[in-house]
Chains A and B, each alone.
Chain A
Amino acid sequence: MNSVIVLILGFIVAFVGYRFYAKYVDTKIMKSDPKRVTPAKMYMDGVDFMPTSKNILFGYQFKSIAGAAPIIGPIIAIQWGWLPALIWILAGTFFIGWVQDYSTAMIAMRNEGASLGGLSHKLISPRARIILLAFIYFYLLLIAGAFGNVVVSTAIGLKAAPMAWLFLTIGGVLAGQMIYRWKKDIMLTTVVTVVIALLGIWLGTIAPSDKVIGANLANSRWVWAIAAFGFCYFAAVLPIWRFALPINYVASYIVFLGLFFGIIGIFVLHPNFTLPAYTNFSIKIGPIWPIMFVTIACGAISGWHSLVSTSGTARQLENELDARPVGGGVMFVEMMLALFALVIAGTIFTSSAEYGTAIAKGPGAIFAGGVAKFLGALGLPATIGRSYGSVMMIVLAITIMQLVIRFMRIATTELLSDVSPVFRNAHIGTIIASLLGMILVLTGWWQYLWVLFGGANQLMASLALMLVTAYLMSEGKPAAYAFYPMIFMFFTTIAALSYTSYSLLQKVLSGAVKGEALIGNTLMGLVGLFLVLAALVLGTEGLKAFKRYKAIRAAASAAKA
């Protein structure tokens, strides 16, 4: 099949989903009302609650949800063949993905801008909130591990990447200094710092890491794991304007330009898929169900989005009608990003064997190769294109990673400060989070780590859909559009996490793994097991809440009769 047909299919699904299905849910089920006062207006404080234009929020939501996951998932999942991956990306987004993003924003808006924790407390039970927060800590740990692995494998696989990463960091820090300290013009700052970042991409091609620091260090996972988590350490402990935010600012231009011209490149080259449409039901990392459905996470459905929709977007929407374009519309754009990654993985290799060799080294090199090919169609030399793609991959992973480590630092303080005052120290919380992440990166097999992350992410999504269902039932609205996706995601992710944890712990108990792998397998297996148990308890609490709402509705109907 031609790659352009895949993109056109994506546009059709996005159009029908957004124009008809989402509109139906918005007008007939949620009954969004432009006259209803949103929390952004009701509780405006100029900070968290602030009425904001839907175009700005569209960009904000896109930037917040589009990390490395929608790109890496399809690149790995193509091992089952491109057709199952394509079907899941399209159907997952159409029936589940946008439903979650839009509906969580809506229920947060209808509940005074409550966060997911607050919604769990109100709609399910107080215990649900506590379990959810513990669940989120381990979920974030898996994000740090999975994305850390992407950074490390990209830095090793593409020797131009570290120099580009370094210059991006320099450009970002300079941007912070110019904007906040020197009060320089934003246009000047943007031009200077983006040019520095682009210069780093070019310098990476003439000064690759193996020439600068030697082949041994350039190929060491330890070196790049320390670099990645050291970067996150600074992002977590320094004032956010000095490091994390300005780097994200400069990086957003690099990523945005790369994606924009990359998609144009696909239309120019319009290559055919060269990898098989379908390979096997079961491959090395597991069977197509449930494992593929968690391998492709953010491109189809992602729990991360519900965190952004509730704590961020819902508090800024100035009109209920804006929830559909912002909450739902952005999910369809992310679907296109996942299709872009699928086209890259499916078209740049001449054979499955060639793909197999490339994927063994990690998905970063594949993505960079694809970016090089499609930017090459517009005249960019291949070496610079690969360098550009590699820094895009690192940026997409590390911008989420630094946020996660910062958040884990806060979570450590919240959860453990009563145990000992030492946990109130920002450095201690950051070091704990970084060390746990590093252990996963250095000792775990990356494909299992990715599946665990995807499983936790999708499970988070099913819990968010559970909250949506509970809200709809409590309001006496039809809940089927959220209930059935919730059931599907809940059982799929429980199965995926159980399967992966079992595979990992079986290797530990049978003595099949030793040394570093023993630590990695044990830690990942136990985290997976904890997530399954937490989800089962949350599921039970959710079931009780559903029964409660059903009984209340039945009693109300009986009283009317």
Chain B
Amino acid sequence: MSENEKKGGFFQAIKEFVYGVAAHDSARFAMKSRASMEHLFILITMGDMLGVPILPPYYSLRLLPYVVPQISTWKRRILREKDLTDALA
């Protein structure tokens, strides 16, 4: 829920708090699972962007228009330095 969304009063705050306690983690993990699958797919199809040629360029080019919106976040996530503590939260 971004800051652009309408901010409500006290009851909205309570609702958001309960969501944060009960469901926010579930939503994040669902997004993480989806992101992992997507990133794996992009790595297979567009790996040569990172110097990992896997699929022949013909297929990569065919798929490129569909993948374009994801490329910037994909590269950021793949290239970001990670360690064990990232898995905790």
- Most-contacted residue by chain B among A51, A115, A118, A241 (CB, 10 A): A115
Q: Indicate whether B41 reaches chain A with its CB closer than 8 angstroms.
A: no
- Selected from A44, A240, A319, A410, the residue in CB contact (under 8 A) with B84 is A410
Q: Indicate whether B88 reaches chain A with its CB closer than 8 angstroms.
A: yes
B-side contacts of A403, CB under 8 Å: 88
Inter-chain contact B73/A45, CB cutoff 8 Å: yes
Inter-chain contact A59/B21, CB cutoff 8 Å: yes
Contact A241 B83, CB 8 Å, known A64-B89, A311-B89: no
Inter-chain contact B76/A45, CB cutoff 8 Å: yes
Q: Indicate whether B13 reaches chain A with its CB closer than 8 angstroms.
A: yes
Size of interface on B: residues with Cβ below 8 Å to A: 38
B-side contacts of A116, CB under 8 Å: 85
| Residues of chain B from 27 to 54 with CB closer than 8 A to chain A in the complex | 28-33, 35
Inter-chain contact B21/A311, CB cutoff 8 Å: no
Q: Indicate whether A138 reaches chain B with its CB closer than 8 angstroms.
A: no
Size of interface on A: residues with Cβ below 8 Å to B: 55
Inter-chain contact B77/A47, CB cutoff 8 Å: yes
Q: Indicate whether B68 reaches chain A with its CB closer than 8 angstroms.
A: no
Closest residue of chain A to B83, judged by CB? A117
Q: Which of A67-75, A208-216, A246-254, A376-384 contacts B (4 or more CB under 8 A)?
A: A246-254
**B19 to A: closest C-beta gap in Å:** 6
- Most-contacted residue by chain A among B12, B16, B20 (CB, 10 A): B20
Inter-chain contact B35/A47, CB cutoff 8 Å: yes
Inter-chain contact A407/B87, CB cutoff 8 Å: yes
Q: 0/1 per residue, A99-123, Cβ < 8 Å to B?
A: 0000000000000001111100000
Contact A136 B20, CB 8 Å, known A45-B73, A239-B33: no
A-side contacts of B26, CB under 8 Å: 179, 241, 245-246, 248-249
Contact A56 B24, CB 8 Å, known A46-B35, A311-B85, A318-B3: yes
B-side contacts of A149, CB under 8 Å: none
- Selected from B1, B17, B83, the residue in CB contact (under 8 A) with A129 is B83
| Residues of chain A from 51 to 68 with CB closer than 8 A to chain B in the complex | 51-53, 55-64
| Residues of chain A from 156 to 213 with CB closer than 8 A to chain B in the complex | 179-180, 186
**B42 to A: closest C-beta gap in Å:** 13
Inter-chain contact A47/B23, CB cutoff 8 Å: no
**A317 to B: closest C-beta gap in Å:** 11
Q: 0/1 per residue, A222-264, Cβ < 8 Å to B?
A: 0000000000000000011100011011001100100000000
Residues of B within 8 A of A (CB): 1-3, 5, 7, 12-13, 16-26, 28-33, 35, 73, 76-77, 80-89
18 CB-based A-B contacts, threshold 8 Å:
A45-B73, A45-B77, A46-B31, A56-B17, A59-B20, A59-B24, A60-B20, A63-B22, A118-B83, A133-B85, A246-B26, A249-B26, A252-B21, A252-B22, A308-B88, A407-B88, A410-B84, A410-B87
Residues of A within 8 A of B (CB): 43-48, 50-53, 55-64, 114-118, 129, 133, 136, 179-180, 186, 239-241, 245-246, 248-249, 252-253, 256, 307-308, 310-313, 318-319, 403, 406-407, 410-411, 414
